[in-house]
Chains A and B, each alone.
Chain A
Amino acid sequence: MGLGKGCRRWLLVLLLVMTAAPHASAPPVDPEAVPSVLFSRQLLKAAHLAVGDLVLLAADPAGARAARFRIAGVYEPTPDPLKFNVERLEARLHLPDLIQLTATPSDPQSAEWVTAVNVRLANPADAERFASDLARQSVGLAARATARTREGDPFTVLERFHVAIAAVTMVGSTAFLLALMVIRAEERRDILGMLRLIGISRRSIVLEIIVEGVIVAIVGALFGVLLAAGAQYGINRFFQARYDTTLVFVRVTASIVVRCLVIALPIGIVTGAAAAWTLLRRVPASLMRR
């Protein structure tokens, strides 16, 4: 739950970073007396800094009212799909330090303002009701649930897009599998004709071709899953290096594997049945080219 114009302990800020180069005339600084700051791994690397360095931070592009900080540590920013192509040049300051750095001296009220208050509810399901109660009681305060609704979420749209592409691919694959099964069945028309003539029932032959279709479809799906599992490593490594992020771009989950197999099963049955029908609708003698 996030509240506008509240407060939170840590804030992400983008600030002018200047290395605090030691001047010969400057008095020595006790690093322990300087407030600490955390730098993102990307910022530390881009600014060629190290943990323990002293830096000057300012909210003003010209460097006015800069304050000295000691880099106490480095952190990996939480991966955010909405920021995957954004350079994560970020620093985390203690709230009082940030307020001191950004407040306007001529406006005492500016030190009383913060961007947001994060609230964890005892019952997360009450988020909407809590937000509406709070908004009614406090004019000028906006409260909203941090959980994104399905509607209006760009990732829900992307998911729909990927599902649509997967569906089209499945239709194409089905046509190919059907063509393959028809060729395979025709290849064995003499044998099938012979089997029919010696008394093997049509039902048994259909069952055999359907089982063959199911095996081809399931083995194909398993091979596809293995291929995707192998590709996920390569794709993740490539995009993580490309965008300097720990975000996972592709993940083959158990549910995806199950879905693949569940879809493969009816496709195998349908293609097998269709291939069997193309042959067994004819009389046995015609299968033997008689």
Chain B
Amino acid sequence: MTGFALARRTVARYKARTTLAVAGVAIIAALNFDMLLLSRGLLLSFANMIDSAGFDVRVTGSAGLPALRVPVAGAAKLADDIRHMPEVDGVAIVRFEQAFASAPDGRERGISLFGTSEGSTRGGWTIIRGHTIDAGDASDPAGIPPLVISRQLASDFGVEPGSVFRLRAGVAGERSVLPFLSYRVVGIADFSFDTVGGYTVATTLEGFRALEEDRLSDDADVVLVASKPDAGPDAAVAAIARLRPDLHVYSNQEVVEQFNRNGFAYFRQISLVLSTTTALFTVLLVATLLTVSVNQRLGEIAALRAIGISRQRVAAMLLWESALLVGLGGAIALPLGGALAVGLDRILRGMPGLPEQLHFFVFEPRAVVLHAAVLAATGVVAALYPVRLAVTLPIAATLRRELGS
């Protein structure tokens, strides 16, 4: 009889303890799996989010948080110069500002307003109803600037494509007497950067400037660049940096690396600490269960050895027992961890100001491979001490003692 067959019989014989041990391993391994998802989830989600806008290079006036950045002066000429570079496929000038919308109940609601020169092909939103804005959109006979609004805003305000929407410029937390301007809603969209519970609208640069009363009309908060596939973002970054060494130019990959170093540090570290702790916890508990189980079966193991079952086979039996406990628990941990990740992600996404499409727990095949590797190592390490106990067992003395008792 092989070590696996012996282990299978032992596991089947002690159903209650096996079920409880597998349940314990499944719960702890699910947590471990979630920590593996968390270790890179935010990073993958963030990378996916900024890539989805369709641009792979960003040009800013200074480093740091968007709200604290120096604007890019002379944006129109800069965009024109960049557009003519052989490495570049497309350019968009982007402005953003906090504004206020007039709600149906007469109250004012804060919104995030984007102005962009590129609304037709790329823009960081997906149109659900209506059509997107276009810098050359002259379809409105009254000359009212076009507006794309988020799905949540459309639902809460009861607005559909074709409606007139009123906005005014403003600084968050301050009162203002600036007048409201009218915009024509041309589309309803899902925005990549829409915050949970927040409202986002996008318009053309002309529409944005109308609200700003032409203040700083040739500035941009960021200039987005799409590189040509054959040139790649690095070549575009180098070319733009040569053209304007005073500006900060980043590829999406560099932005993600910066995020990884700064904004993501906490979650990377907590996932490392918790995955290490849970792996150690599993080792300790499986080792304890196996050791107690071996101690209970000393007479049985000595009898197996006495009838000629080799040390290697006894060791293999215990390794298989450990593998079955950890393996079954680990397999159950995958769907359990998936369900748990949904709940934990929902809790963390309650943080204020997070984009709706940003997730903390993101599935990737690499996490499953790592999960399997951690569990395999856990199973082997947990079996080491019980195996040592079993293979160094003095057969005759143990049988005498067990029979005597």
A in complex with B: yes
A-side residues, CB < 8 A to B, are 4-5, 84-85, 135, 139-142, 144, 152-154, 157-158, 160-161, 164-165, 168-169, 171-173, 175-176, 178-180, 182-184, 186-187, 235, 239, 278
Chain B residue numbers with a CB within 8 Å of A175 are 20-21, 23-24, 27
Given that A164-B343, A168-B340, A183-B296 are known contacts, is A154 also in contact with B274, CB under 8 Å in the complex?
no
**CB-based contact B30/A168 at 8 Å:** yes
**CB-based contact A164/B347 at 8 Å:** yes
Chain A residue numbers with a CB within 8 Å of B17 are 179, 182-183, 186
A154-B352, A180-B289 known, 18 other contacts, Cβ within 8 Å: A5-B174, A85-B265, A139-B177, A140-B174, A140-B175, A153-B352, A168-B340, A172-B24, A172-B28, A172-B281, A175-B24, A175-B27, A176-B285, A176-B289, A179-B24, A182-B17, A183-B292, A186-B14
**Contact residues, B29-79 vs A (CB, 8 A):** 30-31
Write the B260-286 contact mask toward A (1 if CB under 8 angstroms, else 0). 001101100100011000100100010
**Which partner residue on chain A sits nearest B269 by CB separation?**
A239
Q: How far is the CA of A172 from the CA of B336 in the complex (A)?
A: 12
Q: How far is the CA of A161 from the CA of B348 in the complex (A)?
A: 7
Q: Which of B20, B175, B344, B352 has the most CB of A within 10 A?
A: B20
Indicate whether B350 reaches chain A with its CB closer than 8 angstroms.
yes
Given that A168-B27, A168-B30 are known contacts, is A278 also in contact with B16, CB under 8 Å in the complex?
yes
Chain B residue numbers with a CB within 8 Å of A183 are 17, 289, 292-293, 296
Indicate whether B143 reaches chain A with its CB closer than 8 angstroms.
no
B332 smallest CB distance to A (angstroms): 12
Chain A residue numbers with a CB within 8 Å of B278 are 169
9 contacts across the A-B interface (CB closer than 8 A): A165-B274, A171-B27, A172-B31, A175-B24, A179-B24, A182-B16, A183-B17, A239-B269, A278-B16
Chain A residue numbers with a CB within 8 Å of B269 are 239
Chain B residue numbers with a CB within 8 Å of A235 are 273
Q: How far is the CA of A180 from the CA of B296 in the complex (A)?
A: 12
**CB-based contact A179/B289 at 8 Å:** yes
Q: How far is the CA of A84 from the CA of B269 in the complex (A)?
A: 13
Q: How far is the CA of A141 from the CA of B265 in the complex (A)?
A: 37
Chain B residue numbers with a CB within 8 Å of A4 are 173-174
**Which partner residue on chain A sits nearest B285 by CB separation?**
A176
**CB-based contact A164/B174 at 8 Å:** no
Chain A residue numbers with a CB within 8 Å of B274 are 165
Q: How far is the CA of A133 from the CA of B273 in the complex (A)?
A: 48
B320 smallest CB distance to A (angstroms): 18
B240 smallest CB distance to A (angstroms): 21
Indicate whether B142 reaches chain A with its CB closer than 8 angstroms.
no
Chain B residue numbers with a CB within 8 Å of A186 are 14, 17, 296
Indicate whether B288 reaches chain A with its CB closer than 8 angstroms.
yes
**CB-based contact A157/B347 at 8 Å:** yes
**Which partner residue on chain B sits nearest A181 by CB separation?**
B20
A211 smallest CB distance to B (angstroms): 19
A13 smallest CB distance to B (angstroms): 13
B259 smallest CB distance to A (angstroms): 11
Q: How far is the CA of A180 from the CA of B291 in the complex (A)?
A: 10
**Contact residues, B344-364 vs A (CB, 8 A):** 344, 347-348, 350-352
